[in-house]
């Protein structure tokens, strides 16, 4: 029982980690980034390259890959997405436009990875050491990823709720036109939120690469999972992300242990549907006015 | 080898792609000249999409290496002169429709002389009728299907070189029976399988075979494709303390299960995993811990021809990549067969080449091959990592079969 719970928590932490960047990009900047998973895999490749080519510890690699993720996303938003934001008459229109633009971007990022690394599977071993926690054996790399997911989640949550700039970000998430009335530079804040999401997805890619096997074409799996967690938790809500991720992870591991591993997907989607039926805006989402 | 083919591929499809552009670049040199100036060989492979991972390891490096080697020798020998190979290639984006379209194009528009098959069971089944109708030889070297004998009969131009899922499962069980008779293992088996083509076929064949041999199947569960944490399965299996652990898994799961078994200190006497065990990636990731791990595939690692092939493959492919120790050598052997058949016929006569493939004897890196009813008579079904090489251990009657190391040494801390 304890083992199933621990496994579930760690899996859930990973799901939350994967989804946090998307909730920022989608919730605040209103960019439905379909190339999200590709960026995650790109960060995994970066980490793989740093680890195998330069013997750089992936945890130190975070210090390189995350700022790059932030920078690239910032440029992307400023160059590619700002014209769309300007042109879009409403938020809904922006969602559709950004969906198409990032769909195209997905192919570009994937193509670059295929050219650089080929289509094969990649995997490396880092800190896959058994550690005993409360009498249960767990993998250290997964434990670290879980710890950092919680840390990042809480840090971002506190930054958004306790700082002035965080409040501005939330204001833009709630109502961009009203935010403009109180002298918030909506474009800058959106760009920052999108870039922050880019940094988060880079962090997720690095951490996940420590224990998952990936290839240039596995991005879509992560986009889907992230989308599920984000929608279930409430778009733009970090705490919702964490809770939804943990709920999915726990349900998956409990079902795999006590019922049948074949039913994990079914339970995931049942939970997802159940939440949406009761709370259409997600666990922590506010209903649209 | 059907993994991930059913996964969400629609979103990942990349528009025609670099491969196609490279392929189209070779339009000019055709013309119905009297003397053949080149032999046009076409193929559509999964350069993108869920199949790309398998095609990039097993198929593409062999196609490229073979073409390079043949052309370095001056080309294919047609009659008394050598004619270089010219390649036309496309990306099938891991989709059956795209593969069919690409092959139609190769046949009607590019008018290629021969076609090399796509990667994977699903795509080979999909293009079977097209190649049959157009009368091209179809040397399927990466397809495992229980329908292989029936297909070979229906499409006499098709050759199914990797065998049937039932063959894989039955050989494994035969090996287990032998080891039990020798007193090396008991009779408790834990089995997990991926809920997709490969896992379903092989577990369905293994269940009755295990029951008939009086093995006790203590744990028998399936898991969905793309499961990201397999520790519940490993922990459950470990709690039952089985003698034998069998996983009919796809590459990411094969790596995940092995990793988790090592973390959990799960040390059954036999640890068998599915597709991916024979990949160079597996050795790269687990190093010395691969010792004693069994998996699907294997080859005669002591044979000079295989050693030479391994060295050439490393020299030829990007980053010095090694071949996988299962379908790679079969794929290369299929190309040798095609070459020998073409050269024996001495001209581009596809019907005669098919006839020669059906009846001839071929000298390949995996030994002499003579097909019976378009199927080989020998396969490697169970391999085992021994001292950094994945040797074939089953069927034990195959030439070069090694004695399995049982029990598998316990996992070492890395």
Q: Which tokens belong to B76?
A: 């294919």
Give the ipTM: 0.79
Q: What is the pLDDT of residue B132?
A: 94
Q: What is the pLDDT of residue B33?
A: 42
Please report residues of A whose CB lies closer than 8 A to that of B226: 221
Q: What is the mean pLDDT of each run of 10 residues along chain A (289 residues)?
A: 82 88 86 91 92 85 92 91 84 84 90 84 82 80 87 88 88 82 85 92 91 86 89 85 90 85 86 88 69
Q: Which CATH architecture has domain B10-164+304-370?
A: 3-Layer(aba) Sandwich (3.40)
Q: What is the pLDDT of residue B4?
A: 44
* Interface probe, candidates B49, B53, B248, chain A, greatest A C-beta count within 10 A: B53
- The CA–CA distances, whole Å, from A50 to A144, A204, A216 equal 19, 16, 17
* Partner-chain contact A118 B318, CB within 8 Å: yes
Task: Report the interhelical angle of A238-258 vs A219-233 (nearest 10°).
Answer: 110
Q: Which of A4, A124, A262 sits opposite B285 (nearest CB)?
A: A124
- The CA–CA distances, whole Å, from B66 to A76, B51, B90, B316 equal 42, 21, 18, 10
* Partner-chain contact B12 A110, CB within 8 Å: yes
* Partner-chain contact A3 B235, CB within 8 Å: yes
- DSSP class of residue B168? H
A positions 149-208 inside 8 Å of B (CB): none
d(CA A72, CA A74): 5
Q: What is the pLDDT of residue A287?
A: 56
What kind of fold does domain B165-302+382-394 have according to CATH? Rossmann fold (3.40.50)
| Unique residue bearing structure tokens 């190979």 | B85
Q: What is the mean pLDDT of each run of 10 residues along chain B (414 residues)?
A: 42 40 41 67 89 88 94 92 93 90 94 94 91 94 89 93 89 92 91 86 90 92 85 90 93 90 91 92 90 93 92 87 92 95 93 94 93 91 93 88 90 77
| Contact present, B117 and B127 (Cβ < 8 Å) | yes
Q: Which residues contact B148 (CB under 8 A, 6 or more apart)?
A: B160, B163, B164, B375
Q: What is the pLDDT of residue A216?
A: 86
Q: Per-domain residue ranges for chain A?
A: 7-223
The C-alpha angle A191, A104, B127, rounded to 5 degrees, equals 155
* Interface probe, candidates B63, B263, B313, B323, chain A, greatest A C-beta count within 10 A: B263
Please report residues of A whose CB lies closer than 8 A to that of B229: 7, 10-11, 14, 142, 249, 252-253
Determine contact: A251 vs chain B, CB below 8 A.
Answer: no
- CATH 3.40.50.2300 residue ranges for chain B: 10-164+304-370, 165-302+382-394
* Interface probe, candidates A100, A118, A245, chain B, greatest B C-beta count within 10 A: A118
d(CA B414, CA B282): 15
Q: Taking the complete model, does pTM exceed 0.90, yes or no?
A: no
Determine contact: B57 vs chain A, CB below 8 A.
Answer: yes
Task: Report the interhelical angle of A36-54 vs A91-117 (nearest 10°).
Answer: 30
Q: Which of B11, B251, B260 sits opposite A213 (nearest CB)?
A: B251
């Amino acid at each position: 029982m304890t083992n199933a719970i621990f496994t579930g928590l760690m899996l859930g932490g990973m799901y939350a980690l994967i989804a946090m960047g998307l909730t920022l990009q989608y919730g605040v900047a209103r960019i439905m980034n379909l190339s999200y998973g590709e960026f995650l895999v790109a960060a995994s490749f970066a980490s793989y390259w740093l680890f195998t080519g330069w013997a750089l510890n992936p945890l130190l690699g975070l210090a390189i890959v995350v700022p790059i993720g932030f920078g690239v996303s910032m440029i992307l938003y400023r160059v590619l997405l700002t014209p769309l934001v300007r042109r879009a008459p409403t938020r809904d229109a922006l969602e559709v436009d950004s969906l198409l633009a990032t769909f195209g971007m997905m192919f570009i990022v994937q193509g670059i990875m295929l050219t650089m690394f080929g289509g094969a599977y990649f995997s490396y071993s880092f800190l896959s050491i058994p550690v005993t926690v409360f009498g249960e054996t767990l993998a250290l790399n997964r434990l670290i990823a879980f710890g950092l997911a919680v840390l990042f989640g809480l840090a971002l949550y506190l930054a958004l709720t306790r700082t002035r700039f965080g409040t501005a970000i939330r204001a833009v998430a709630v109502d961009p036109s009203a935010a403009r009335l109180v002298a918030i530079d909506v474009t800058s804040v959106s760009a920052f939120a999108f870039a922050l999401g880019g940094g988060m997805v880079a962090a997720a890619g690095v951490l996940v690469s420590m224990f998952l096997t990936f290839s240039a074409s596995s991005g879509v799996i992560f986009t889907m999972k992230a989308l599920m967690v984000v929608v279930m938790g409430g778009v733009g809500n970090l705490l919702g992300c964490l809770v939804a991720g943990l709920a999915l992870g726990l349900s998956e591991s409990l079902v795999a242990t006590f019922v049948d591993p074949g039913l994990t997907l079914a339970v995931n989607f049942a939970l997802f549907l159940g939440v949406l039926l009761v709370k259409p805006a997600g666990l922590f989402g506010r209903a649209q006015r | 080898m059907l993994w991930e083919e059913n996964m969400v591929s629609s979103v990942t499809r990349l528009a025609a792609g670099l491969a196609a552009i490279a392929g189209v670049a070779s339009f000019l040199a055709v013309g119905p000249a009297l003397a053949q100036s080149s032999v046009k060989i076409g193929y559509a492979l999964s350069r993108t999409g869920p199949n790309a991972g398998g095609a990039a390891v097993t198929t593409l490096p062999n196609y490229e290496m073979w073409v390079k080697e043949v052309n370095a020798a001056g080309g294919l020998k047609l009659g008394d002169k050598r004619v270089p190979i010219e390649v036309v290639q496309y990306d099938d984006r891991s989709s059956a429709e795209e593969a069919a379209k690409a092959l139609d194009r190769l046949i009607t528009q590019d008018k290629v002389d021969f076609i090399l098959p796509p990667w994977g069971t699903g795509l080979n089944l999909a293009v079977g009728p097209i190649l049959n109708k157009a009368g091209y030889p179809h040397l399927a070297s990466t397809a495992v299907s229980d329908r292989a004998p029936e297909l070979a009969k229906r499409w006499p131009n098709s050759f199914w070189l990797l065998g049937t899922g039932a063959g894989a499962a039955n050989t494994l069980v035969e090996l287990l029976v032998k080891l039990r008779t020798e007193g090396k293992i008991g009779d408790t088996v834990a089995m997990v399988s991926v809920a997709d083509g490969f896992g379903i076929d092989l577990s369905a064949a293994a269940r009755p075979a295990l029951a008939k041999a009086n093995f006790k199947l203590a744990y028998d569960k399936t898991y969905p494709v793309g499961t990201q944490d397999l520790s519940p399965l490993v922990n459950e299996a470990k709690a039952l303390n089985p003698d034998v652990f069998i996983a009919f898994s796809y590459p990411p799961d094969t790596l995940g299960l092995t990793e988790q078994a090592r973390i959990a200190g799960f040390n059954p006497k036999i640890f068998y995993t599915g597709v991916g065990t024979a990949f160079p990636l597996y050795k790269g990731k687990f190093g010395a811990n691969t010792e004693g791990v069994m998996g699907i595939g294997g080859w005669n690692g002591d044979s000079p021809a295989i050693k030479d092939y391994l060295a050439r493959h490393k020299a030829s492919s990007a980053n010095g990549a090694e071949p996988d120790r299962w379908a790679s050598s079969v794929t290369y052997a299929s190309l040798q067969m095609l070459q020998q058949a073409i050269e024996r016929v001495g001209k581009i006569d596809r019907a005669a080449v098919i006839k020669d493939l059906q009846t001839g004897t071929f000298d390949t890196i995996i030994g002499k091959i003579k097909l019976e009813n378009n199927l080989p008579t020998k396969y490697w079904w169970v391999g085992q990592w021994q001292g950094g090489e994945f040797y074939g251990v089953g069927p034990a009657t195959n030439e070069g079969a090694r004695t399995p190391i049982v029990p598998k040494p316990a996992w070492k801390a890395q």
